[in-house]
Chains A and B, each alone.
Chain A
């Protein structure tokens, strides 16, 4: 797979991007901002994770979002516009439906942004960023994040080995349960031992000592500087607009909020900020094509 241009950026650029995008996605309830966030989260996830991964995510995200949208009007009955009455006798209001949809959009957008985060912010990048600041914490985080996939892989390995030796019962519910419990007990011992070994190994290498240097393949380039400037400009403009109430929106008791040219410009800036990876990749691809065509 060809590497995405955003993955090749300096980790701090990636971190700044995700901090801005995630913060804005979690706090903005303006319908325009939610649309922008969801749309660009879908686009970025499709580019960074690939279409197949996005489809797999959508398979469980879509029902969850639908449920979130349905649950709100079922429990909240506030709102001035009564659409109909629920079987309980409480009113079904336009505002609670709108808020449910907004909550579902925000939930989906944030989940998609985190799926992008998982692709971009690999553990080596996290260790590079926080290894010196908080060595113990970043090692702990890295080990914790690695734990589940590693545990699963090892579990399969141990099961296969025991099956190969004929020690894993294939028949009988109780027998199979017994075998699985044996493997699980092996796994618990292994994971405890592994955690201790990793900690001791890192300690003996002098991890976290002052003055210790570490190899890293990341270099700060001019492009990274420009990207940080771009992110800071967009983010600053949006944050200022947020502070000034340019994207204020309320759902209860009536739907009302800012929908002026100024809030439109804020939404546009938000769209550009969110689509930074897509724009970057487009620019790199164009450059590459123009270089290739000159040969």
Chain B
């Protein structure tokens, strides 16, 4: 009886450990992903159908050019030490000017739907709804909109949770600044807008362009309240 009990406890531990190991394995995988992404990302962007509206025109030619440079230069580790890496990489002042984009994070849409917001979250919404004012930042080659958000949030000590599926190189932003999806009604969550248009690809598949203005916006109504809803 003692042995069976011990066996049962052991099996339970084993199952839990396996579950943990599974999580750990998934967690470890994203690290090599960015280096892979550098080569695959532009390909994927070309293969996918043209994203709606303005986002596509600048993306296709720039991607082709980037691919050439990425084969010439050794791939740099984009996410581990991004600010230092970009400093090291950028030696010519002309290049520095090229690889600069703007990022901002705003949850202003919540201000119009404060009644729907989960009560314990009300203290997290700033009076003007801006979690991060427009910030200019340099970016590494092949960095996606998601990588940029991750890096900027970390640098500015802003909370951000995401879930990542390395197999598809897809990332989903669950919450920024502890404001999560579904916190302000069923249709609420985070969306991103580049140069005034909502790209038709996920944030981890959107390769940044020089001069891009990336806005992360919280929606309370599947995007209709911030101008990013489904086309009628």
Q: Which residues of A contact B (CB under 8 A)?
A: 60, 63-64, 67, 70-71, 74-75, 77-80, 82, 85-91, 93, 149, 152, 250, 252-254
Contact B13 A253 (CB under 8 A): no
Residues of B within 8 A of A (CB): 1, 4-5, 9, 12-13, 16-17, 19-20, 23-24, 26-28, 30-31, 79, 120-121, 123-124, 150, 154, 157, 159-162, 164, 175, 178, 180
> A88-B26, A93-B159 in contact; A152/B9 too (CB < 8 A)?
no
With A79-B178, A82-B159 already in contact, the answer to whether A253 and B164 are too (CB < 8 A) is no
Q: Which residues of A contact B79 (CB under 8 A)?
A: 89
Set of chain A residues within 8 Å of B162, measured between Cβ atoms? 89-90
- Complex formed: what's the CA distance from A90 to B146 in Å? 13
Contact A91 B159 (CB under 8 A): yes
Chain A residues with Cβ below 8 Å from B19 are 71
| A to B CB contacts below 8 Å, 6 in the list | A64-B13, A82-B157, A89-B162, A89-B164, A252-B120, A253-B121
Residues on the B chain within 8 Å of A91, using CB = 159-161
B17 partner residues in chain A, CB cutoff 8 A: 67
Residues of B within 8 A of A85 (CB): 154
Q: Do B124 and A253 touch (CB < 8 A)? A: yes
A91-B161, A152-B4 known; A60-B9 Cβ under 8 A: yes
Within the complex, what minimum Cβ distance (angstroms) separates A154 from chain B?
12
- For B26, what are the chain A residues with a Cβ–Cβ distance below 8 Å? 88
Please, which residue of chain B has its CB at the minimum distance from the CB of A93? B159
Contact B16 A67 (CB under 8 A): yes
Q: Known interface pairs A64-B12, A152-B4, A253-B120. Does A78 touch B175 (Cβ–Cβ under 8 Å)?
A: yes
Residues of A contacting B157 in the complex (Cβ-Cβ under 8 angstroms): 82
Looking across the interface, which residue of chain B has its beta carbon closest to that of A67? B16
